[in-house]
């Protein structure tokens, strides 16, 4: 591999969408941010200089960071934030990974504007296990607030209520022609007939899983979270925040004399308010003649997306995702398990803190938890305190391996919605083989939670509805070709079972990738200890690691 250098200047930039201009935090003044392209085996050296008044940190979402946890990026987990005027160089090698990932800010809600594609090509001369595309196109979904998203989350936290929803979804930063005052801000993909395009879909939205479809065209799914999958055709993709999906788009063999919309809108199962609008981009065939001058006269076709709460579509779609599991790309599913964990994930409440009535349920504040523990980020970084033996008063190594309060996870919701607050970690010896059941609690409503694990890929060996039954459900686990990924939707009112090998020393964050749930505490961390051999040990911190 080679070493590739990037410069990220964090600076404010005025950006206008929906007729609103605001100053936003960006990388190099770009929105969305710059595309990083590398090959498997390359080293990335990314110098981040912070010129804004906000603290910042950048996460390379889905990169395994083998032994380089210092470069992972979540603020107060693997590093203290990069403060105003400071510089930090993220330095890591891409080992055994190729495909579509993305990078984003990992502090407060700054990832609403600070994000971009991270594309890893196969090693030189290694082909894709599918038709060689004529062109590759990143399609990155996001959300646009007319307000400052930092004000949106701070207001939600002060009042204990839900945050204001975004004003638009975006494709490559553009809300598209279905929003008011937005026709000019529409992403357009120009294609030629009879070609294959690789669309690299990335969901960088803060709070919404999305359905995506292109009118009159089917899509062939070939990769999820930078892992090849058994190809299958579908009209609609479901993609949760934190997930990436590569699809092949085969264009029609003739010039169709029509224009096609590509649209995305949310899949929502929970309570509360959400933006029920639709982002659109345009798929336009380049005309062989001058006909494109009369584009406006061409008929415009719109796709039909599933209903907002179509959980059966979601279930079928995730069941179709399977690893290639062949000689070249084996699925190394852990067959034996050293440690089993059962985690409930869901919402809950905290007492109102400011002597007034809060806007959460029954005058409380909204909270969210894993095993009833609502995670509090420390004032220093967990990885630093572990490495320097200063964990006292920062975290405790006693994260519960099953829920603190017993609940019925479906049906009648429990009366006790209170969470307990803490900074608790699970400690794992090096190379522990882990099985984790993630169970939606249905407290304050059943809801799909896209759980993201840093530092690892995991295999999704099972999923189902209702309460997980260890005797019945474990027998049906797929240990042959389960999909391997870094973010999985815990089904609304159900459970998902994952397995991973803890072969990466460090502190690894796990959280719901719905940003509001992370803010409410739906997060925790694993501490994986060093192994015996030098190549199983965490490397020492870089000298420019920020201090708190």
61/424 with CB nearer ligand C2O: 61
Pair 216, 301: CB distance under 8 Å: yes
Please report which helix (H) or strand (E) contains residue 318, including its range: helix 311-320
Interaction between residue 454 and ligand C2O (CB under 6 A): yes
**CA distances, 274 to each of 269, 521, 526 (Å):** 11, 20, 31
Site for ligand C2O in 242-281 (CB under 6 A): 242
What is the CB neighbour count within 10 angstroms for residue 207?
24
| Residue 453: CB minimum distance to ligand C2O, A | 9
74/494 with CB nearer ligand C2O: 74
Among the listed residues 106, 265, 322, 424, the single contact to ligand C2O using CB under 6 A: 106
Interaction between residue 450 and ligand C2O (CB under 6 A): no
Pair 149, 67: CB distance under 8 Å: no
**CA distances, 430 to each of 70, 388, 537 (Å):** 18, 19, 9
Torsion, CA 331, CA 94, CA 451, CA 334, rounded to 10: 30
Rounded to whole angstroms, the Cα distance separating 153 from 453 reads 23
| DSSP letter assigned to residue 373 | E
Number of residues that bind ligand C2O (CB under 6 A): 11
Interaction between residue 449 and ligand C2O (CB under 6 A): no
| Residue 107: CB minimum distance to ligand C2O, A | 10
Among the listed residues 46, 56, 61, 66, the single contact to ligand C2O using CB under 6 A: 61
Interaction between residue 64 and ligand C2O (CB under 6 A): no
SS (H, E, C) 461-476: EEEEECCCCHHHHHHH
160/450 with CB nearer ligand C2O: 450
| Side-chain-facing half-sphere of 161: CA atoms under 13 Å | 13
454/485 with CB nearer ligand C2O: 454
442/519 with CB nearer ligand C2O: 519
Site for ligand C2O in 464-523 (CB under 6 A): 509, 511, 513
**CA distances, 127 to each of 99, 199, 209, 293 (Å):** 12, 17, 31, 38
Ranked by CB distance to ligand C2O, the top (closest) residue is 61
Among the listed residues 98, 104, 485, 499, the single contact to ligand C2O using CB under 6 A: 104
Interaction between residue 74 and ligand C2O (CB under 6 A): yes
60/88 with CB nearer ligand C2O: 60
| Residue 115: CB minimum distance to ligand C2O, A | 9
Residues in contact with ligand C2O by the rule CB under 6 A: 59, 61, 74, 104, 106, 242, 452, 454, 509, 511, 513
């Amino acid at each position: 591999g080679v070493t590739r250098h990037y410069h990220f200047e964090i600076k404010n930039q005025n950006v206008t969408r929906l007729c609103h201009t605001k100053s936003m935090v960006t990388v190099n003044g770009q929105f969305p941010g710059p595309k990083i392209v590398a090959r498997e085996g390359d080293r990335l050296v990314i110098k981040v200089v912070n010129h804004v008044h906000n603290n910042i940190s950048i996460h390379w979402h889905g990169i395994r960071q083998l032994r380089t946890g210092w470069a992972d990026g979540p603020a107060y987990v693997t590093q203290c934030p990069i403060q105003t005027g400071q510089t930090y160089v993220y330095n890591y090698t891409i080992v055994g990974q190729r495909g579509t990932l993305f990078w984003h800010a990992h502090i407060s809600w700054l990832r609403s504007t600070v994000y971009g594609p991270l594309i890893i090509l196969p090693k030189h001369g290694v082909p894709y296990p599918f038709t060689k595309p004529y062109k590759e196109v990143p399609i990155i979904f996001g959300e646009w607030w007319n307000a400052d998203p930092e004000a949106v989350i701070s207001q939600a936290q002060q009042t204990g209520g839900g945050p204001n929803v975004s004003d638009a979804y975006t494709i490559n930063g553009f809300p598209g022609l279905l929003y008011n005052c937005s026709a000019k801000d529409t992403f357009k993909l120009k294609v030629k007939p009879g070609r294959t395009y690789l669309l690299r879909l990335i969901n960088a939205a803060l709070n919404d899983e999305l359905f995506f479809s292109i009118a009159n065209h089917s899509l062939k799914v070939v990769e999820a979270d930078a892992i090849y999958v058994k190809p299958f055709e579908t009209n609609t993709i479901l993609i949760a925040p934190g997930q990436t999906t590569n699809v092949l788009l085969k264009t029609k063999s003739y010039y169709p004399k029509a224009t096609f919309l590509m649209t995305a809108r949310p899949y929502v199962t929970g309570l509360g308010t959400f933006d029920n609008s639709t982002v659109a981009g345009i798929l336009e065939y380049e005309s062989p003649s001058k006909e494109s001058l009369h584009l406006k006269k061409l008929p415009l076709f719109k796709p039909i997306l599933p209903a907002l709460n179509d959980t059966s579509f979601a279930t079928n779609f995730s069941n179709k995702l399977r690893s290639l599991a062949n000689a070249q790309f084996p699925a190394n599913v852990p067959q034996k398990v050293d440690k089993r964990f059962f985690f409930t994930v869901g919402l809950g409440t905290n007492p109102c803190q400011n002597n007034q009535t809060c806007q959460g349920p029954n005058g409380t504040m909204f909270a969210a938890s894993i095993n009833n523990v609502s995670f509090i980020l420390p004032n220093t970084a967990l990885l630093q305190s572990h490495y320097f033996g200063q964990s006292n008063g920062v975290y405790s190594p006693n994260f519960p391996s099953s829920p603190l309060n017993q609940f019925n996870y479906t049906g009648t919701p429990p009366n006790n919605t209170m969470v307990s607050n803490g900074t608790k970690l699970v400690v794992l010896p090096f190379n522990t083989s882990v099985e984790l059941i993630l169970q939606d609690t249905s407290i304050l409503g059943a809801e799909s939670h896209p759980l993201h694990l840093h530092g690892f890929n995991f295999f999704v060996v099972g999923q189902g509805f209702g309460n997980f039954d260890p005797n019945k459900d474990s027998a049906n686990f797929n240990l042959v070709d389960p999909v391997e990924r870094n973010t999985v939707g815990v089904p609304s009112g159900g459970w998902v079972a994952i397995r991973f090998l803890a072969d990466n020393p460090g502190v690894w964050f796990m959280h719901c990738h719905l940003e509001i749930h992370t803010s409410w505490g739906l997060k925790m961390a694993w501490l994986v200890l060093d192994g015996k051999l030098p190549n199983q040990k965490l490397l020492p911190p870089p000298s420019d690691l920020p201090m708190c």
